[in-house]
Amino acid sequence: MLKHINETHRPMIITQNGEAKAVIQDPKSYEDMKNAISILKLLSFAEEDIKNGNLHDEEDVFSSVEELLKK
């Protein structure tokens, strides 16, 4: 079973009485999925900031970064 999962990079769903109870997947696919979810969360936060008008000018951002780097 593990050989198949690692070769195909496809998850396997474990069921009990016909109901999904667990998912097994290879480590690389798991890390890729975690990274994708993290990026989607960041995009969601950015969209929310845009909707709320929480925006900063490019010049202000770069000035702030330069000040932080000088410290």
Find the angle CA(36)-CA(43)-CA(11) to the nearest 5 degrees.
Answer: 20
Amino acid identity, residue 13? I
Q: What gap in Å lies between CA 71 and CA 59, rounded to an integer?
A: 19
Domain boundaries along the sequence of the chain? 2-70
Looking at the predicted structure, is the pLDDT value of residue 41 above 90?
A: yes
**Mean pLDDT score, 2-26:** 96
Count of CA atoms in the C-beta half-sphere (13 A) of 3: 0
Contact 11, 30 (CB under 8 A): no
Band the pLDDT of 13: cuts 50, 70, 90.
very high
**Predicted pLDDT at 71:** 85
Q: Report whether 29 contacts 9 (CB < 8 A).
A: yes
